[in-house]
Structure 1
Amino acid sequence: MTTASGLPAIRESVQLAVQEAPGGSPALVALAEAAVEHYALNYSKHPPAVLLTEVRETRILLSTATAAANPEIAQGLRRQVGWLSALLGNLAYHLDDRAGARTHLTLAGALGESTQEGALTAWASGALAMVATARHDWEHARRHAEYGLQHAPEGLRRAQLLGWALLPTLAATQRGPEADDVISESDEIMCSAVELPGRFGYDRAEHRLHVAEAHLALERYDRAGDVARASVDAAPPDTPAWAAATLVLALAEAHDAPDQAATRALDVLDRIPPSRLRATARSRLTRLGHLLGTSTVNSATELAERLRTLPAPIRADGTAA
């Protein structure tokens, strides 16, 4: 668990350690690893804009120490700078800054390769595929996913790259048989894999979310709904994972049960503050609003009004709302 005051305390500890050993030390490398773990495990507990500030400041501190460290210590610090860059890329994406996301994730991937951290290279490639998919750049999305798969360790990491990175682009381009093959392989891995928590981890709730979205893209609404319900059931209530699965379920229901779909979306808006609504959730809400645009049920009308007045997470001057 963490608290709002506990979050900056991590950065302050890194700052004190850098002051203690400006040229780096094994203890600073260990502390950097612990800081990355803390940010990754508590990623969903803080508004993205708040966490981005803390991760950025910590990366600056470690980068300063890296420049003065001996080669062995510098290698360890650069590896953690790479993981922090990966976090910054994901945070930028969740704040709807896709260009910023690409910048940070490209750096993360490069540092993963130069420090021979295969898991980082694979994860950054998967995240780059996610960003490319969001802008409908299917060719680059598939390239990033396949590159990530070349570096991903077997087991859970492979299932993650299959479900999170490769499957969305196959489904979006209507390659149903290939998508089904990916679903089968990744499902088989997930049956025996040990789940990993945190932003860099992967679990059954997230996997089912990606499978449900693939079925949705392939217009298999009943199957999408069934898998999305399983994702909702597996996700902790009132978390970003729960919100994502609930909205995918609503999208699957929109065609045949518009009132139920709109009610689910309203429940998400009631339970998740605007500052904690990720860009991915906002995108799903927008898609749902368009699908229900001609519906006359009261819940759909209310949803349209709530979406119209939903404040942005970042103001026009760049400050967090």
Structure 2
Amino acid sequence: MALLDAPYGSPAVVELVEAAVEHYALNYSRHAPAILFDEVHAVRGLLGDGLTAPADAVIGADLRRSAGWLSALLGNLAYHLADHSGARVHLAVAASLGERTGDTRLTAWAYGAQSMVARARRDYAAALTYAQAGLECASGPLARAQLLGWAVLPSLARLGQAAEAERALGEATSTLAADPAGGAPGRFGFDAAELDLHESEAWLALGRTDRAATRAEASAAGCVPHTPGWAAATLVLAQTEAPARPGDAAARALDVLERIPADRLRSTARERLRVLAAALDGVDVASVRDLRERVQTLPPPIDIHGRSTA
């Protein structure tokens, strides 16, 4: 409605778009990724005239900044829908708009997300490069802790650089503790439970299963039950249990599948399930057999036309 009155933007339009970004970021985990992607994409599309020919320079800069944050959301949503090429495009746009508007928080976050996507492609050298670029842009203790824990630490761990990973972890932990609020909610936020998750997966990558299990338990305990964060930590904990207690590991993963509908199961959770099922290959236990079947029959997150299949 505001755009009908001012298609090239106005202070009211800027305020409403910023409110939309905040709403989607804070409620990101409450909605199925495919549904949220379509809605965020539609909102960004409404800004076409304002981005092309803004009412004035100030409004143009504000709209570009908000378009950057919407692109960051779209990149993360594409990643959670297993669309890595789409994620790379949207995140590149987000980083570019962050740089052009001087929004260092947006730029740092977009680089961190690009590091995450590069790790999923197993391009760990590129992941570390993106992580370090994001860290250079990060301002304030929370942003720095986020880039260290979410991007630098896991990239170093995947490269087998244990000493450097421990240093990054130590700095991330102390920096997060120095943040006055102790963390922030939402897709663009960061907190102790998320740091525990990344630490757990780092230890797992470095072969320290005991330490990985401890941090995964702490992460799951720090999350709201049955949310995506809880599912991630629970599946990592199951991975740590797989060598010694395969039946328990499979039962834990099956509990996640019972509690998280398929359309809300992110690509990251699906990958953790795949890794767990591969680790349990050859184990002839009822819960393992059930897990193997459930993983094999999971519908893809989107069909060939980009629609949700769940």
TM-score in same-fold range (> 0.5): yes
1:277 aligns with 2:262: no
Instruction: Name the structure 2 match of 1:10.
Output: none
Number of aligned residue pairs: 306
Instruction: Name the structure 2 match of 1:42.
Output: 27
1:214 aligns with 2:199: no
Q: Distance in 2 between matches of 1:160 and 1:221?
A: 23
Report the 3-state secondary structure (helix = DSSP H, G, I; strand = E; otherwise coil) of the residue aligned with 1:256: coil
Contact 1:79 1:111 (8 Å CA) reproduced: yes
Instruction: Name the structure 1 match of 2:10.
Output: 25
Match of 1:145 among 131, 154, 171: 131
Contact 2:82 2:301 (8 Å CA) reproduced: no
How far 1:169 moved relative to its partner? Answer: 1.2
1:60 aligns with 2:60: no
Cα offsets for 1:195-245 (capped at 9, x unmatched): 111000001111110000000000100100000000000000110000000
Q: Distance in 2 between matches of 1:288 and 1:277?
A: 15
Report the 3-state secondary structure (helix = DSSP H, G, I; strand = E; otherwise coil) of the residue aligned with 1:200: coil
Report the 3-state secondary structure (helix = DSSP H, G, I; strand = E; otherwise coil) of the residue aligned with 1:207: helix
Q: Distance in 1 between matches of 2:158 and 2:149?
A: 13
Task: Output the amino acid matched with 1:255.
Answer: P
Instruction: Name the structure 1 match of 2:231.
Output: 243
Cα offsets for 1:32-87 (capped at 9, x unmatched): 11000000000011100000000001001123222231111000000000000000
Q: Distance in 2 between matches of 1:303 and 1:238?
A: 18
CA spacing shift, 1:35–1:317, aligned 2, 3 Å: closer
Instruction: Name the structure 1 match of 2:190.
Output: 202
Match of 2:64 among 72, 78, 81: 78
1:312 aligns with 2:294: no
Match of 2:243 among 240, 251, 255: 255
CA spacing shift, 1:267–1:140, aligned 2, 3 Å: same
User: Gaps spanning 5+ residues in structure 1: where?
Assistant: 1-15
How far 1:191 moved relative to its partner? Answer: 2.4
Q: Using the TM superposition, name which of 137-146 and 81-90 deviates more.
A: 137-146
Instruction: Name the structure 1 match of 2:253.
Output: 265
Task: Output the amino acid matched with 1:151.
Answer: C
Q: Distance in 1 between matches of 2:245 and 2:169?
A: 27
Report the 3-state secondary structure (helix = DSSP H, G, I; strand = E; otherwise coil) of the residue aligned with 1:318: coil
Contact 1:129 1:144 (8 Å CA) reproduced: yes
Contact 1:63 1:78 (8 Å CA) reproduced: no
1:102 aligns with 2:79: no
How far 1:296 moved relative to its partner? Answer: 1.4
Instruction: Name the structure 2 match of 1:5.
Output: none
How far 1:30 moved relative to its partner? Answer: 1.0
Report the 3-state secondary structure (helix = DSSP H, G, I; strand = E; otherwise coil) of the residue aligned with 2:140: coil
Cα offsets for 1:142-199 (capped at 9, x unmatched): 1111110111013010010001011111101110000000111111122232211100
Task: Output the amino acid matched with 1:17.
Answer: A
**Which runs of structure 1 show a deviation greater than 4 angstroms over 4 or more consecutive aligned residues?**
none
Task: Output the amino acid matched with 1:240.
Answer: P
Contact 1:22 1:68 (8 Å CA) reproduced: no
Match of 1:228 among 194, 202, 216: 216
Q: Distance in 2 between matches of 1:98 and 1:313?
A: 13
Instruction: Name the structure 1 match of 2:101.
Output: 115
How far 1:290 moved relative to its partner? Answer: 0.2
Contact 1:132 1:140 (8 Å CA) reproduced: yes
Q: Distance in 1 between matches of 2:160 and 2:192?
A: 24
Contact 2:111 2:133 (8 Å CA) reproduced: yes
Contact 2:91 2:113 (8 Å CA) reproduced: yes
How far 1:140 moved relative to its partner? Answer: 1.0
TM-score by length of 2: 0.97
Q: Using the TM superposition, name which of 16-25 and 155-164 deviates more.
A: 16-25
1:174 aligns with 2:163: no
How far 1:276 moved relative to its partner? Answer: 0.3
1:126 aligns with 2:116: no
Q: Distance in 1 between matches of 2:169 and 2:231?
A: 22
Q: Distance in 2 between matches of 1:275 and 1:301?
A: 23
Q: Using the TM superposition, name which of 268-277 and 249-258 deviates more.
A: 249-258
Task: Output the amino acid matched with 1:302.
Answer: D
Instruction: Name the structure 2 match of 1:13.
Output: none
